[in-house]
Amino acid sequence: MAGQQPPSNVGDDLGLGFALPGGVPTDAQGRRKVHPISPVVHAVTAIPIGIIIVIAFGSGGLFAGDARVLAMAAVALVLVPFVVGAAAYLSWRKLSYWFDADGDFRVDSGVITRKERRLQLSRLQSVDVAQPLFARLFSLAEVSVEVAGQQGSKVSLRFLTLDEARSLRNEILARSAGLRHDTAEAPETPIATVAPRDLAVSLLMRSVTFFLLLVTVVILVVTVMASGWGGLGLALVTGGVPILIVVTEFITFFNFTVSQSPDGLRLRFGLAKTQSRTVPPGRVQAIEFVEPLLWRKRGWMRVRVNIAGMGAADSSGNREETLLIPVATREVAHGIVERVLPGLDLAGMEWHPAPDRARRRSVIQWQRLAYAWDDSVFVARRGRVTRHVMVIPHARAQSVRFTQGPWERPLGLGSVHVDTTPGPVKVSALHLDAGVAQELVRAESDRAERARAQDRSIRWAAPDTTNEA
């Protein structure tokens, strides 16, 4: 199915032939509402939960054909979706969203506790359109809006028809960029796609995964040669965990597509749940290039990114790894980064390595430890087996930190960290000469101060400001 999608379609609908009526439903005050069929979708989503409950509590009696258990199972299968659907209906009635006179995005919700949220679109971080599996059955989509600097500011509207979801996203993006809200949908040009085969191969060749799979093979061989079964349990762990991770990431990042639109980079990915995510330029907080040992022969790298409010821990504590691309050749990766951090020139920078005595603190990676900077960014690198290069624009630094651990102190070493918003990227120049590190902290803080004073990228598309790049 790679490359077959029309460019403006989020995912491919599983298409059960439902043609839901379009149009935006509104309430008495003219505020918009999510699609009335949404409670049904929530109810359908709950069916697997009902099945799990039945299997967990009644599997014994179920297979034995116990009539009472069967009856209870049937009740659970009906009851769980019904209760979920009824609750979803009540919250559907209370949920409305609109743009207020100040141009803020407002969402009122809550059956028992009323919640009135006001999202300041000038601080917009991202608008995502996602199609969870069950919503895809109905050709519906979910829109998530996040703004910076507010805990729990993420608002998810479940569910809108795909067309409405896309037009709402465009409206929010246009308003946040300081354009008129009726600006037409931004056209987009594809930049890069990750072929499923490349994704699978790359996931298997990541350093830790590959090492664990190798260990598993060794354990299996030894177990078979010793003709015992003792190693199987261990092999299940060392082999099972990485395979689970590979499969999860494969499903999450399947068919990863990057395209350029005037709103920013648009990322699309996912097998079961398809997601579409827009990364506005100027909202990228930090970037990291990751090159595992076995990827280097093919010239592959992964690009991680910190975007404030995005990829933060969700309610269940899972932290998503926010990526610009899961795997790409060096040229493609740098081409993508060029669009969010124009003018980045890693090769032309003057690298300042950690002193030789850093080998007594970090035996393996000490030779790779170094930092560099130019007029707009600070860069640090680390890692010998898996290479990491971390980039942060001076203007995005939150604070600058010097640290010295008990191992570093006797060696006269110290580390410098440029703090950024929560995300997968941590920018640290490790194990430098302590004196150099102390000067670097102050120098970097000054550079950040100057860069902040010149930064114009908050309302990057508004006509009266110019992006400094």
| Residue 416 near residue 401 (C-beta atoms within 8 A) | yes
Asked if 171 contacts 181 with a C-beta cutoff of 8 angstroms, the reply is yes
Query: Residue 328 half-sphere exposure, CB side, CA atoms within 13 Å?
Result: 25
Which residue is associated with the tokens 């829109």? Answer: 143
Nearer to another protein, 248 or 398 (CB): 398
Minimum CB–partner distance for residue 174 and another protein (Å):
19
Residue among 413, 425, 429 nearest 352 (CA): 429
Closest separation in Å from C-beta 183 to another protein: 22
| Residue 265: partners with Cβ closer than 8 Å, 6 or more residues away | 191, 258, 259, 278, 279, 281, 324, 336, 339, 340
Which of 421, 212, 424 shows the shortest CA–CA distance to 318? Answer: 424
Q: Tokens 């898996």 correspond to what residue?
A: 386
Q: What is the nearest approach in angstroms of another protein to the Cβ of residue 354?
A: 18
Cα–Cα distance measured from residue 326 to residue 98, given in angstroms and rounded to the nearest whole number: 35
Residue 146 or 249 with smaller CB distance to another protein: 146
Q: What's the gap between Cα 358 and its chain centre?
A: 34
Q: Which is nearer to another protein, 374 or 455 (CB)?
A: 455
Give contact residues for another protein (rule: CB under 8 A). 123, 125, 148-149, 283, 285, 308, 396, 398-406, 409, 417, 419-422, 426, 434, 438, 441-442, 445, 448-449, 452, 455, 458
Specify the residue, 173 or 212, whose C-beta has the smaller distance to another protein. Answer: 173
How near is the Cβ of 146 to another protein at its closest, in Å? 12
Total Cβ atoms within 10 A of residue 235: 17
Of residues 45 and 421, the one with the C-beta less far from another protein: 421
Nearer to another protein, 357 or 452 (CB): 452
The CB-of-155 to another protein minimum distance in angstroms stands at 18
Q: How many angstroms separate the CA atoms of 168 and 148, rounded?
A: 19
The minimum distance between CB 306 and another protein, in angstroms, equals 9
